[in-house]
């Protein structure tokens, strides 16, 4: 009797498993439905151009471009159109190190100072203990985006050597290996480790050891290295409510390539994803291997735990960062993913390894809700989720976010206007003028131009603008380039004579991009 009961239970369980599998495959979104979804997304989120690829079971089942590369030229996006994949470049840096681990030229646990002897952090103990793994896991103790002003916006003169030297001046905001804070600089250092171990630049290594074997023939490790720029998107951004073409000033500079520099398209990225979904194997019959399953498992294993704030309809229970990838559970399945963003371009790569499913969405506008709409609608079809209109959900969220941001912006400038109108007496600008130096960012020159107090960064040309009086010794710097949305408080600290001897800064708006890390600056005369 017990044997029969056990057999019945096994039969029921097997039947439920089969039913579950059938359900997962029963409502798969079609290419025509993806076309319709993306066309609606273009209009809803005012995105000029999008490229989408879907990989399933080792094959590309959808790869198309939509909209235009530029609102000026009106040239169409296709499957070969190149986008900056931004922080999706980080997985390539992780893979480069993985290849070197595979070749036994280094180990994940090796100390960084063994390869870059001049590498120093603020805390000597952390310097001594900092490993290759630590470079890739956003747990250095530095704050969100610390030091990014050395590489972003692109119009500055900081080199990789400058960045490696200057990291020592950045003060930690949390304990070593205690807290997740997204970090670009450590990936730049990781790229330099690749260079020193391999005896070639990070760019050459990625192109010859990863892109070439995978036949990513159109891709390059940086915009400047693209052999053919005839089919590249232009970045776009909404300025004063109007989406328009912007230049590439708000990319990272050349020193930041290992963190955010790669240009690719959905055709090439599909080859990258197929390799990832096959534990490093690629080529006909998967007979070739970029790195072993053992090395790949390290990249896709949680290294840094991140608190889960929104479980949503996907029943998310954990969130973590691996080596170049975010990792979480979605409806009981493992999801490996990353996003990327530079000025005017945002991208997303998503993989469900157990389903052998990969989704790539590249866009040339700053709406992250556009790629979320597309990715999650496709995922919904594989999870047999019905009744959720992602376009409606995310457009409502974006509208609320924009409305809230607009109210904050208006309130801030209303307050500034009031303070300026209530200002009495003439300000003695001589108390503030002079050259102030931050140890890692260099000189800021405060001067008088045409009767106005002015701020100029010596090493990063985008940071120039008028200083508006606000309260006491605090001014507002309004940058000439409004596209940054990064105006900032500038507070002068006087000595006993009343003349300013130091400056501290802080972003004016809560929605300012975290790479404008003004709070980390400490200027002294």
pLDDT of residue 312: 76
- Which residues make Cβ contacts (< 8 Å) with residue 141, sequence separation at least 6? 121, 123, 126, 172, 173, 174, 175, 176, 177, 178, 179, 181
Element (H, E) at 200: none
Q: From the centroid of its chain, how far is CA 322?
A: 15
pLDDT of residue 240: 83
Residue 276 corresponds to which tokens in the numbers above? 């990832």
Check if 23-398 and 423-524 are the same fold: no
Phi/psi of residue 134, nearest 5 degrees: -60, -30
CATH no., domain 23-398? 3.40.710.10
Q: Which residues pair with 305 in a beta bridge?
A: 320
Q: Structural domain boundaries of the chain?
A: 23-398, 423-524
> Are 277 and 358 a contacting pair, CB within 8 Å?
yes
Residue 81 corresponds to which tokens in the numbers above? 């159109």
Q: How many CB atoms lie within 10 A of CB 227?
A: 7
CA distances from 268 to 53, 63, 80 (A): 10, 11, 8
Supply the DSSP string of 416-452, one letter for each residue. HHHHHHT--S---GGGT-EEEEETTTEEEEEEEETTE
Class of domain 423-524: mainly beta
> Are 335 and 243 a contacting pair, CB within 8 Å?
no
Residue 398 corresponds to which tokens in the numbers above? 């974006």
Nearest residue to 347 (alpha-carbon basis) of 103, 83, 95, 143: 83
pLDDT per residue rounded down to tens, the chain (525 residues): 444 444 444 444 444 444 444 444 446 999 999 999 999 999 999 999 999 999 999 999 999 999 999 999 999 999 999 999 999 999 999 999 999 999 999 999 999 999 999 999 999 999 999 999 999 999 999 999 999 999 999 999 999 999 999 999 999 999 999 999 999 999 999 999 999 999 999 999 999 999 999 999 999 999 999 999 999 999 999 988 899 999 998 899 999 999 999 999 999 999 999 999 999 999 999 999 999 999 999 999 999 999 998 777 889 999 999 999 999 999 999 999 999 999 999 999 999 999 999 999 999 999 999 999 999 999 999 999 989 999 999 999 999 999 999 999 999 999 999 998 888 778 999 999 999 999 999 999 999 999 999 999 999 999 999 999 999 999 999 999 988 889 999 999 999 999 999 999 999 999 999 999 999 999 999
- Which residues make Cβ contacts (< 8 Å) with residue 63, sequence separation at least 6? 51, 52, 53, 54, 79, 266, 267, 270
Residue 324 corresponds to which tokens in the numbers above? 């170049």
> Are 370 and 345 a contacting pair, CB within 8 Å?
no
């Amino acid at each position: 009797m017990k044997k029969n009961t056990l057999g019945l239970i096994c039969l029921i369980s097997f039947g439920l498993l089969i039913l579950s599998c059938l359900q997962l495959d029963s409502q798969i979104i079609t290419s025509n439905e993806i076309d319709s979804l993306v066309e609606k997304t273009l209009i809803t989120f005012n995105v000029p151009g999008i490229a989408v690829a879907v990989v399933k079971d080792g094959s590309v089942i959808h790869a198309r471009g939509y909209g235009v590369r530029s609102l000026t030229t009106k040239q169409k996006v296709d499957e070969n159109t190149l986008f900056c994949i931004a922080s999706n470049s980080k997985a390539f840096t992780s893979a480069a190190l993985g290849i070197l681990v595979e070749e036994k030229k280094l180990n994940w646990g090796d100390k960084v100072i063994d390869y870059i002897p001049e590498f120093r952090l603020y805390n000597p103990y952390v310097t001594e203990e900092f490993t290759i793994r630590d470079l890739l896991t956003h747990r250095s103790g530095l704050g969100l985006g610390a030091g990014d002003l050395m590489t972003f916006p692109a119009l500055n003169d900081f080199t990789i050597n400058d960045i490696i030297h200057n990291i020592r001046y950045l003060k930690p905001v949390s304990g070593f290996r205690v807290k997740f804070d997204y970090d670009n600089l450590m990936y730049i250092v990781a790229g330099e480790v690749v260079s020193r171990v391999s005896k070639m630049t990070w760019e050459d290594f990625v192109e010859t050891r990863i892109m070439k074997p995978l036949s990513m023939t159109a891709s390059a490790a940086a915009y400047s290295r693209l052999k053919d720029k005839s089919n590249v998107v232009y970045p776009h951004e909404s300025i004063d409510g109007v989406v328009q073409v912007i230049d590439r000033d708000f990319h990272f500079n050349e020193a930041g390539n290992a963190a955010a520099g790669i240009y690719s398209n959905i055709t090439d990225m599909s080859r990258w994803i197929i390799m990832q979904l096959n534990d490093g194997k690629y080529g006909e019959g998967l007979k070739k291997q970029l790195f072993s399953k053992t090395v790949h498992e390290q990249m896709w294993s949680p290294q840094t735990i991140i608190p889960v704030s929104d479980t949503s309809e996907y029943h998310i229970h954990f969130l973590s960062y691996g080596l170049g990838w975010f990792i979480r559970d979605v409806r009981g399945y493992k999801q490996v993913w990353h996003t990327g963003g530079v000025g005017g371009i945002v991208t997303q790569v998503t993989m469900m390894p157990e389903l052998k499913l990969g989704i790539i969405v590249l866009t040339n506008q700053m709406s992250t809700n556009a790629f979320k709409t597309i990715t999650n609608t496709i995922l919904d079809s594989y999870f047999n989720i019905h009744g959720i209109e992602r376009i409606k959900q995310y457009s409502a969220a974006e509208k609320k976010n924009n409305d809230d941001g607009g109210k904050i912006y208006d309130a801030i400038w209303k307050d500034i206007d009031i303070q300026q109108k209530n200002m009495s007496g003439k300000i003695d600008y001589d108390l503030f003028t002079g050259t102030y130096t931050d140890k890692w960012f260099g000189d800021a020159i405060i001067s008088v131009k045409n009767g106005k107090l002015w701020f100029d960064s010596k090493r990063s040309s985008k940071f120039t603008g008028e200083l508006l009086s606000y309260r006491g010794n605090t001014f507002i710097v309004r940058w000439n380039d409004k596209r940054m949305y990064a105006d900032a408080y500038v507070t002068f600290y006087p000595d006993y004579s009343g003349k300013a001897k130091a400056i501290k800064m802080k972003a004016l708006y809560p929605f300012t991009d975290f790479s404008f890390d003004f709070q980390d600056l400490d200027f002294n005369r």
